[in-house]
Amino acid sequence: MNDSIHILNNGKHIPKVGLGVYKITEEDMYDSIKSALEAGYRLFDTAFMYDNEKELGQALKDLGVQRDEVFITTKIWNDYQGYDSTLTYFNKSLDNLGMDYVDLILVHWPCEKNGKYIETYKALEHLCGEGKAKSIGVANFKPHHLDKLIEQTEIIPQVNQIECHPYFNQQETQDYCDQNDIAVQAWMPIMRNRGLLDDEVIVELAEKYGKTPAQVVLRWHIEHGRLVIPKSKTKERIEENINIFNFSLEEADIERIDNLNKDIRQGKDPDKISIGDLK
């Protein structure tokens, strides 16, 4: 098996590294996707809330990409939770993308206070049965959210997409997902370069392996079995972020990075997100 491919619990293949397109605008989308395709990316992660599904779909069309050559992820936004609403907005996402299916659809946040993530997920199960979604999953779910979801639904999520980086490694959630064969996909995997890449341990290891700090951090994720979706619109960084399959980290160095954990979130706490938040 190609080291850059992960097999999900339903047998589907997913690239371990994808391009997150959050905040990539129409102005930059074509060039970003072109650079990513040339660098070897085949997974592109968007969401209804990002307001750029249409731009992503158009860029892929303009670049002559065949549908079966790429893996497309999108997400159901908080405001549209509920069975019928999910079906409605999923079809809007398909229209935006100009596609008749997605490879992965996620519940964007649990919104347990006033959300309907169980009903939303059941709608995703229906879409999976119809073939409109090849795989389904969740984002920003903690173990207690997953416990409730698994108890009340039929399909164990294929993916849980969470904030994860060396300063916030989410070990409890990682362990839960490993035990239940749910792939963990890290958003903000290099912490949007908010000081992490200047950490003396990361810098030292980058020098040791002849790689950049970002490559060392992304390889650390891969060594832990995670998938990653670093976001960039810069050609050089796009190329850098996927060039992580020609080296491995020694076990002692993986542990050094593990020990950087500070349990510091950069994003929101999923337990505190309600419908209407995060606009």
128-174 per-position pLDDT tens digit:
999 999 999 999 999 999 999 999 999 999 999 999 999 999 999 99
Looking at per-residue confidence, does 192 or 249 come out higher?
A: 249
Tell me the pLDDT band of 88, cut-offs 50, 70 and 90. very high
Strands (E), 129-206: 133-139, 159-163, 183-187
Q: What is the structure's pLDDT at 279?
A: 62
Q: Is the pLDDT of residue 42 over 90?
A: yes
Rounded to 5 degrees, what are φ and ψ at 74? -140, 180
Identity of the residue numbered 258: D
Supply the mean pLDDT for the chain.
Answer: 96
Torsion angle of C-alpha atoms 135, 139, 144, 145, degrees rounded to 10: -70
Instruction: Name the CA radius of gyration of the chain, rounded.
Output: 18
Q: What is the structure's pLDDT at 132?
A: 98
123 to 76, 126, 159: CA distances (angstroms): 11, 5, 16
Looking at per-residue confidence, does 193 or 44 come out higher?
A: 44
Strands (E), 56-158: 71-76, 102-107, 133-139
Domain boundaries, the chain: 5-191+224-233
Rounded to 5 degrees, what are φ and ψ at 265? -75, 150
Joined together, the tokens standing for residue 238 give 């796009």
CA 35, distance to chain mean position in Å, is 19
Q: Is the pLDDT of residue 278 over 90?
A: no
- DSSP secondary structure letters along 70-98: -EEEEEE-GGG-SHHHHHHHHHHHHHHHT
Average the pLDDT over 10-34 and give the result.
Answer: 97
Map residue 259 onto helix, strand or coil: coil
Tell me the pLDDT band of 104, cut-offs 50, 70 and 90. very high
Q: Which fold has domain 5-191+224-233?
A: TIM Barrel (3.20.20)
Joined together, the tokens standing for residue 169 give 């490694």
Tell me the pLDDT band of 1, cut-offs 50, 70 and 90. very low
Average the pLDDT over 225-247 and give the result.
Answer: 97
Residue 108 among known ligand-binding residues:
yes
Q: What is the structure's pLDDT at 277?
A: 85
Joined together, the tokens standing for residue 118 give 């169980």
Q: Is the pLDDT of residue 228 over 90?
A: yes
- The Cα–Cα gap between 198 and 174 comes to 25
Q: What is the structure's pLDDT at 260?
A: 98
Helix, strand, coil tally for the chain in percent (to 5): 45, 15, 40
Q: Is the pLDDT of residue 114 over 90?
A: no
Tell me the pLDDT band of 193, cut-offs 50, 70 and 90. confident
Average the pLDDT over 62-76 and give the result.
Answer: 98
Q: Is the pLDDT of residue 187 over 50?
A: yes
Whose CA is closest to 111, among 51, 49, 65, 168?
A: 49
Neighbours of 263 (CB within 10 A): 9
- Please identify every residue annotated as catalytic: 50
Average the pLDDT over 30-43 and give the result.
Answer: 98
CB 158 within 8 A of CB 182: yes
Angle between helices 26-39 and 53-62 (to 10 degrees): 50
